[in-house]
Amino acid sequence: MKITVLGSGAWGTALALLLAENGSDVTLWSYTEEKTKTLQDTRESPMLKGVPLPQELKFTSDLASVRDSGLVVMATPSFAVRSTAQRLRGLVDPGTILVSVSKGIEKDSSLLLSQVIEEEVPCPVVVLSGPSHAEEVGRHIPTGVVAASEDLAAAEQVQDLFMNSRFRVYTSGDRVGTEISAALKNVIALCAGCCDGMGYGDNTKSLLITRGLAEMARLGVALGGRKDTFAGLAGVGDLIATCCSMHSRNRRCGILIGQGRPVGEALREVGAVVEGYYAADNARALARKAGVDMPIAQAAYEVLYEGRDVHAVVDDLMQRAKRSERDESYL
């Protein structure tokens, strides 16, 4: 099958490599001609150093390459999803499967990214998500993810195209829960990094991950997701991987903030898109819209956008009114 991957960052490149190794005819699209030329000349992504890109993998900066593709993977940063999807109109056939692998919530509309794609392109959309660092997928480290869609046939086709002996794909009918998990885990990972930067230990991070997961599930269920999704790969699986790994740009950014760096400086030092920064703002708006209490996400927003001291925020969270864990758990 002809497949086009839109976005040549680490994740888009790793997935393009995977699909090419599975025997598909794959083209990797970059936003700029300069990046396309670099990939063609070096046969290596600067974001996946040491991972050779095979000769059969093609590169382009011409979006018309999506024509006649049976599947298009949307791997752009979250803020570029709508503008890229708009450019696909008239280029893809109505039956083309669009796979959303970007993670986030659209600013202003508070739409999930798969919903943004659906608004712009009349095609079936499948969300692919789970604990899957691009650096490890590129190096053939065994990985498991979820392909989620209300269209089970589309999810199963994605499963067939992506799955191999090192990349296991499960299907799910819960696109909302899968995508909320993907967006919110970046916020929690940024907070986990702050804990590391402040010198807190395993107790604190375990507390944060567990209560963060409860917040993710609370919002997801309120929006129509299934609670069991948050106990699976897309939920707790991806959350653990992102909160505990130095592969995570969100965690690395949080470490710098926890050490006292200004937010803007920390974002620049990471040197790539920190999705949790944008997701914190958008998640707060979505939680307010849905009437869901999310104290950790709110605290992240206050640190990132209002300049609050991270130590003061932790003190506030620890001194919240007494609760029953049973009453606040959705798992």
Give one DSSP letter per residue of 254-279, joined into a string. HHHHHTT--HHHHHHHH-S--HHHHH
Among the listed ranges 23-32, 186-195, 277-286, which one has the minimum average pLDDT value?
277-286
Top pLDDT among 13 and 107 is at: 13
> Can you name the CATH fold of 2-173?
Rossmann fold (3.40.50)
CB 59, CB 22: distance < 8 Å: no
CB 172, CB 48: distance < 8 Å: no
pLDDT value at 41 more than 80: yes
Range 303-313 average pLDDT: 96
pLDDT of residue 328: 61
pLDDT value at 184 more than 90: yes
pLDDT of residue 272: 82
Please give the positions annotated as active site. 185
The DSSP secondary-structure symbol of 105 reads B
Which residue type sits at 202? Answer: D
Q: Which two tokens stand for residue 80?
A: 């570029």
Which residue type sits at 119? Answer: E
CATH class of domain segment(s) 176-328: mainly alpha
Q: Which residues neighbour 246 within 8 Å (Cβ) at sequence distance 6 or greater?
A: 252
When pLDDT is cut at 50, 70 and 90, the band that residue 273 belongs to is confident
* Percent of all residues in the chain with a pLDDT value above 70, rounded to a whole number: 98
pLDDT of residue 325: 85
Q: Which 3 state secondary structure label does DSSP give 72?
A: strand
User: Environment class of residue 269 by beta-carbon count within 10 Å: exposed (0-12), middle (13-18) or buried (19+)?
Assistant: exposed
Q: Which two tokens stand for residue 28?
A: 């990797």
CB 39, CB 45: distance < 8 Å: yes
pLDDT tens figures, 54-103: 999 999 999 999 999 999 999 999 999 999 999 999 899 989 999 999 99
Top pLDDT among 47 and 143 is at: 143
Compute the radius of gyration of the chain from its Cα atoms: 19
Q: What is the residue extent of each domain of the chain? A: 2-173, 176-328
pLDDT of residue 257: 98
